[in-house]
Structures are given as structure tokens and as C-alpha cells.
Structure 1
Amino acid sequence: MNPEKILNLSVDCVVFGYDVNTKSLNVLLIKRYLETNNNVLVDDYVLTGYHVYKHETLDETATRVLRELTGLTNQYKKQFKAFGNPNRLTSEKDLPWIENEKFNSRTITVAYYFLLKTEDVSLTNNKYSAAWFPINKLPDLGFDHKEIIQEAYEDLKVKCLSEPIIFKLLPDKFTINDVQDLYESILGIEIDNRNFRRKLINKKYIIALDEKQVGVSKRPAQLYMFSKDIYDKIFEKNYLISI
């Protein structure tokens, strides 16, 4: 027996991933395509999302949607806003899709964003035709998903300055330059290298490893790791921490 859906309540997920090779903050989107009698009615991209089942919490729905898209669980997630504009699903290009999928045009969606490493997601033979797009080079989007992504991005920019969430986007072992590149990618600014390096290596929760980069053409850089245990202890003691 299929679970019963709440027809006018959904969850949409903004999945952020960072590519250390291209130094790009990306969003994972799925293909939306509808054709009738060789006439293309809809051809764009949207966020992954779905109706909330009656037996689920909102968090459970978001986790299910991410798992079905990527196969991943236990990723960092944040519920950041509800979107309920009466016209959010009723633009001219969205109406054929709504009619074909029998969606309730007055659907309210609760939006989450997830943070993960692009390398952890295999898109080979993905049934949703999912693809990564740089945050500043998004394709044509359906519904109000451009607005949802922008709201998620603004929230991420604020939150990454007060909590160590960026380490969810980096490999377990990273260089100081990797951290700086990620901050610059998220914030869209240039950061003074010497000042940033000095501040970061003085953080007790940034642990220097007895390892260096391998397989690089230039001089290999020192590797570090983030210690959540140490961060949590410092946070409990001081309550407020400046990243």
C-alpha cells in the first residue's frame, strides 16, 4: 500500500556541493521535461522535492528526498524557510507540468538545504538526470526555485561565518588554501591569504596532520583536519565562537 500524501504540502531540497578541483560551489538539480505529440512543453531544471507523507515529519521527508536522489543519509541539513506564494506554481511554463503531474497548484513547500561533497555523489545512470551547476551559472529553472536557491545561498553565507559548517563541504583532510578557496567561493570575495592563514591555524579545532599533499606538481602543502569534538568543547565553554 502506497503512503498517503499531503497534497498541498511539499519539501524542496537545495543540495549544495563543493568541487575542490574547480573551486566551485554547486547546486544539484534534476531535469524537468515534458513532451506531447512531438511538442516540447517543458524543458528546464528544478530542485528535488516531493509531497510530505501523512506519517512523516518534515525532516523525515527531506531526508527521504535526499536519499532517493543521492543515496546519502546523515548529511548536514537545515530547514530555512517556507514558500507559500499563491502563484508560485502557476506561471505559463509551469502549468502544463502541474496538469500532467496532477499537482495541487496551491502547494506550500518547506525548503531545506544540504551540504555535501560532490565526490560523494555518483550521477551515473541517475534516474532523475541530476547534474551539478555552479551557483553563479544556474540553468533555466522551473517554479520559484531560483528564489528558493537564492534564499538558501544567502542563509549559507551568513551561517558559514558563525559555525564550522563549511567542513561538511571539504574532504576530511584539507589544506589551508582549500578552506580559503571555499570561503571565497561561498562569499564571492577575495580574502587576504596571510591574515586568513594565521587566524585559521590558531584555531584549536584545526588539527595539523603529519601529512602533506601527494600527486601535486608544486610544493606539497601541509594537510589539516577539523575536530568536531574540540570545537564542541570550546563552544560549550565560550558559547559564542568566531570562525
Structure 2
Amino acid sequence: MNNKKISNISVDCVVFGYDTETKSLNVLLIKRYLESKSEKKILVDDYVLTGYHVYENEALDDSASRVLKELTGLTNLYKKQFKAFGDPNRLTNEKDLLWIQNEEFNLRTITIAYYFLLKTDDVSIENNKYQAQWFSINDLPELGFDHKQIILEAYEDLKTKCLQEPIIFELLPDKFTINDVQDLYQSILAIEIDNRNFRRKLINKKYLVPLDEKQVGVSKKPAQLYMFSKDIYNKMFQKNYLINI
């Protein structure tokens, strides 16, 4: 492949992961750090999304998948292209200008934004060369460029999408309880869901398959485990089908 990059077109990837212990929706960010060469003065010290330029002979989806694989080592994950960001002033913050000058980036870069869904346990961030770290969507650090805007717009799209398709199961372990599903919906949508009604509706979904297994290693009464069947869902899928929580 020709790896010559297009200087003013990039992809940025919002990587969402769910922490089942803290019940929080998280975003995977990488460190952006720059010192002055002479005085070793800290010029830039914040976080950004993972992203890079698109190569000349590369499709946009392939660019996003490449960038995601370089950060996490993972492939074949759920991804969605949700918006292009091309405001002429999107990279004109003082710190951004210092970074762009150091990296010799094009000041008028347009980025195509994607978001990915994965299980946090599938990613090892120890000794990650990009100093990747998970942050709660509700407690983001200082961010470079317009990446806070990109994250928040990805989050709004995710809220809508999770009510139209069963994409939340991309964020859960292969085996889960009804409470796990409810906790995740509540985390994404930032709402309280009536437990009884939710359970009644969910267990009637044919694509949710009960297993002959229960939780292990819990202090309370172990709950029934389920798995999501993509095959069953695809067979019953109808246009504009709503999850209806």
C-alpha cells in the first residue's frame, strides 16, 4: 500500500468502553506532551483522541480501523462514522498551534470522526506507548484540539443508536445478567430505569438467550446469566425497530 498521507484529511476515533465494576461509560484517550527543546519547559500536557492522517490509497473506514488497531491491537470491532469536523478554527488554540508546528501538521485539517465499542477488559493499557488511559465520560481531562466536542457528539449519537440497535452488547461480557444490561443502559442514557418493567421487557426479547448458568463468586444470590444472539436478532430485525427499554 502507498503510505503517503493526505496532509489535510484525518480520522479521529472515540473509543468507548464500559467498566462493569464502576458502572461507568469510559473513553480511551492518549497523552499529548511537548517540551521546549532549549529550556525543557512544558508547552503541552493534555489528552487527545487517537487519530492520524488518511493515506492516499486508503478508504476512510480502513484508516479508522488501522488507527484503532495501532492503539489497542484489536480488529473487527463495532464502529460508526458519525460526522466530519471541518471548522476553519478547530485547531487554532495556542497549545494546538505549538503542537501542529512541532509535528508539521496542516493547520486546515478536516477530520472524519468514528466511534468504536469494545470491552475494556480486552485492552491492555499497561506499557502502552501512547500512554493510553480510560476516563469516565462524566469526568474528562483537559483535551486538545476540538476533541471534547467530538467526544460529546459521539456520545449523543451513541445514546440514540443504543435505542435503535442492540449495540450495547458490544460493551458487555459474552455472558451477563439482566442487571448488567440495565446498569449499562442507565450509564449511557443517564437515567433511572424501572427495574421490574425493564426485566419484563428484556426477558421477552428472543435474541436474549438464557443460559444454564448463574453467577459465580458473588456474595448475594447468584443471578441467571444470558447471552446475546446476533443471528436471532438479524432474523427478527425490522426497519426502525426500537429496543424499547
Q: Same fold (TM over 0.5)?
A: yes
Residue pairs, 1:1-243, within 5 angstroms: 3-36=3-36, 37-235=39-237, 238-243=238-243
CA contact (8 A) 2:28 2:133 kept: yes
Alpha-carbon separation, structure 1, partners of 2:174 and 2:95: 43
Letter in 2 for 1:126: N
Q: CA deviation at 1:94?
A: 1.0
Letter in 1 for 2:12: D
Residue 95 of structure 2: SS of its match in structure 1? coil
Per-residue CA shift, 1:145-183, capped at 9, x if unaligned?
A: 000000000000000001000000000000000000000
Alpha-carbon separation, structure 2, partners of 1:88 and 1:187: 28
- TM-score, normalised relative to structure 1: 0.98
Per-residue CA shift, 1:3-45, capped at 9, x if unaligned?
A: 1000000000000000111111000000000011221100000
Letter in 2 for 1:39: K
Alpha-carbon separation, structure 1, partners of 2:14 and 2:197: 32
Q: CA deviation at 1:242?
A: 2.2
Per-residue CA shift, 1:175-208, capped at 9, x if unaligned?
A: 0000000000000000000000000000010011
Alpha-carbon separation, structure 1, partners of 2:163 and 2:28: 23
Q: CA deviation at 1:71?
A: 0.1
Per-residue CA shift, 1:80-115, capped at 9, x if unaligned?
A: 000000011111121110100000000000000000
Q: CA deviation at 1:2?
A: 7.2
Alpha-carbon separation, structure 2, partners of 1:230 and 1:51: 38
Alpha-carbon separation, structure 2, partners of 1:2 and 1:88: 28
Runs of 4+ in 1 over 6 A off after TM superposition: none
Alpha-carbon separation, structure 2, partners of 1:226 and 1:132: 26
Alpha-carbon separation, structure 2, partners of 1:2 and 1:160: 37
Alpha-carbon separation, structure 1, partners of 2:156 and 2:5: 31
Alpha-carbon separation, structure 2, partners of 1:57 and 1:150: 25
Moved more, 87-96 or 115-124: 87-96
CA contact (8 A) 2:2 2:56 kept: no
Letter in 1 for 2:112: V
Unaligned runs of 5+ in 2: none
Alpha-carbon separation, structure 1, partners of 2:239 and 2:29: 37
Alpha-carbon separation, structure 2, partners of 1:240 and 1:6: 37
Residue 32 of structure 2: SS of its match in structure 1? strand
Residue 93 of structure 1: SS of its match in structure 2? helix
Residue 12 of structure 2: SS of its match in structure 1? strand
Unaligned runs of 5+ in 1: none
Letter in 1 for 2:144: G
- TM-score, normalised relative to structure 2: 0.97
Aligned-residue identity in percent: 78
Alpha-carbon separation, structure 2, partners of 1:198 and 1:42: 51
* Matched length: 241
Q: What RMSD over aligned residues (CA atoms) do the two structures have, in Å? A: 1.0
Letter in 2 for 1:151: E
